[in-house]
A = this chain, B = another copy of it.
Amino acid sequence: MKLPWRPGYDLTLDKIIKSALQYNPEGEIVYRTRAAIERYNYSTAFKRMNSLAAALSSLGVREGDRVATLDWNTHWHYETYFAVPMMGAVLHTVNVRLAPYEVEYIMNHAEDKVAIVHADFLKLVEYAAPRVKSLEHVIVVDADSAPEKLGNAKVHLYEDLIKSYRESYEWPELSENTVAAMCYTSGTTGLPKGAYYTHRQMVIHALSTGLFISSSPLIGLNSAATVLHIVPMFHAFAWSLPYVTTLIGVKQVYPNRLIPSVLLELIAGEKVTHTAGVPTILYMLLTDPSSVKYDLRGLKFLNGGSAIPEGLAELARRRGIEVIVGYGLTETGPVLTLASPPAKLLTSPELGKLTLRTGWPIFLVELRVVDSEGKPMPRDGRTMGEIVARSPWLISEYYKDPAKTEELWRGGWLNTGDIAVWFEDGSILIMDRAKDMIKSGGEWISSVRLEDAISTHPGIAQVAVIAAKSRKWGERPAAFIVPKPEWKGKITLDEIRRHLEENYVAKGLIPRWWLPDKVVEVESLPLTSVGKIAKRVLREQYKDLEVD
């Protein structure tokens, strides 16, 4: 039985936009520019993708060339998400929250030839352009004017540029193993590492993620949904949601730079049914001064990036928002798990807690919690181990980094570096990043579990727990808290210990020896480039902190 290749066989990203064009060509895409909120449809978006590809081609972009983006969640970004890979070039989404020297490093490492840049990041590119020798062209979006040159790169305005090209392009027939896109992990330690994905990987990821969130009774994303893209598009391809939503042909909303009051207005005005983001943005949506004006009932919020504190989830629920946790890494495509339980648990009295677990592996993901020898841990909800995974869409390697690749794939599984417990029902709960665990008297304490518990105190706005040195125990937990305004100066170590003692220790939810030995009140907590609390920075600032 030989298997002749047939046209239409390969899993390439053009098939995703073609699905929308066939099924719902007039499906709406709403987007915000600095001037106004506007809207077009899949059909028009595709015409503009054609013009963009023709323009890039005339600028010399060839198959395999890297095209960088430094952009917010705009329709321009959306157009590059398809046009660049569909030409056979590689979409490189640059994390605009990185330090300038890191941006310079990754653009050089990726050898970007063209950069598509939002006006807000011209200053960043002004720094990087002269230092990135491969860069030939800069294309500016959301701007009426721009300098003529940046470094040696010629500068164009996106709208002026594509205007001169026809709305048709001879898209090449690509192999599904062509590299489609890359991005760099924000790198909490050391230099950013390059992750890249083939067309095939991105299509299978979109299919499987789409199937899980569509077939989940709790999430229920169907073709009549409206999705607001809050996850930054420079971060793990916005969890692939621009691809998933296009595949299904739903109405999408691109809010440009994330401004909480504007997001709230879009949610209400466009009748958004689903969105996704890190806990920080959810917190902002709930506490923005304008928030109370809006009815948020029925909104589904997929939480990722870091664990959601129980207190925040409760706050969201009181507004009628359903929070479902998801989990993954840049290296894993990104989605590995979603906390939408199987049918029989939907009636569980614990449902509200189950949706805050790290979740169940989505379809086609094989996941385990293992010890240092790779042996699966018992599914007892207590014993901690590292999460390892296999799936058709996990990165095969870090770009030009065989040593780190070796480490990542040690033992034939992708090693996430995240520590979790495994439950009998098949779900997992992350206790911590391996490096964020606190080792006290030879035993592990989960900083995330402690943060969760502390966050339920009525006076706490934000909290982070790190290790303080202890001569006796090696390490002991120290909590850094940002109190709510009316609670400033009032939350002592004793108060936190009392809260934990009564609500957690007494109920057997955490052991007494986990109680923190130190509470430090701070004005604010340092954030990473993707809006998570930067524990690495906190640890650095307080590296000499000591308790008895």
Contacts and interface: CB of A to CB of B under 8 A. Distances in A.
Interface of A: 1-11, 15, 18-19, 22-27, 177, 179, 196, 198, 204, 207-208, 210-211, 214-217, 220-224, 247-251, 340, 342-344, 346, 360-361, 363-364, 366-367, 389-392, 394, 396-397, 399, 409, 412-414, 426
A427 to B, nearest CB: 9
A337 to B, nearest CB: 10
Contacts of A6: 390, 394, 396, 409, 412, 414
A196 B409 contact: no
A248 B211 contact: yes
A186 to B, nearest CB: 21
A392 B344 CA distance: 34
A48 to B, nearest CB: 20
Contacts of A340: 223
Contact of A223 (B10, B343, B389): B343
5 A-B pairs closest in CB distance: A8-B390, A214-B214, A24-B342, A214-B215, A224-B343
A426 B25 CA distance: 9
Contacts of A1: 179, 196, 399
Given A224-B346, A392-B9, A4 B397 contact: yes
A363 B214 CA distance: 14
Contacts of A210: 211, 215
A248 B8 CA distance: 26
Contact of A216 (B11, B223, B247): B223
Given A343-B224, A426-B22, A364 B214 contact: no
A222 B216 contact: yes
A418 to B, nearest CB: 18
Contact of A207 (B207, B222, B343): B207
A108 to B, nearest CB: 17
Given A8-B389, A216-B222, 7 more contacts: A6-B412, A23-B342, A211-B214, A220-B222, A223-B340, A223-B343, A249-B342
23 contacts: A1-B179, A2-B397, A3-B177, A7-B413, A8-B389, A11-B204, A11-B392, A22-B366, A22-B367, A23-B360, A23-B426, A24-B426, A204-B207, A207-B208, A210-B211, A214-B214, A215-B222, A215-B248, A216-B222, A216-B223, A217-B224, A224-B343, A251-B343
Contacts of A363: 19, 23, 207, 247-248
A27 B342 contact: yes
A426 B22 CA distance: 6
A292 B223 CA distance: 34
Nearest to A196: B1
Nearest to A19: B363
A430 B269 CA distance: 40
Nearest to A361: B22
Nearest to A64: B1
Contacts of A426: 22-25
Given A196-B1, A250-B343, A364 B19 contact: yes
A247 B211 contact: yes
B343 A27 contact: yes
B342 A223 contact: yes
A248 B363 CA distance: 7
B198 A3 contact: yes
A394 B198 CA distance: 22
A399 B4 CA distance: 12
A396 B3 contact: yes
B396 A4 contact: yes
Contacts of A2: 397
A210 B207 CA distance: 9
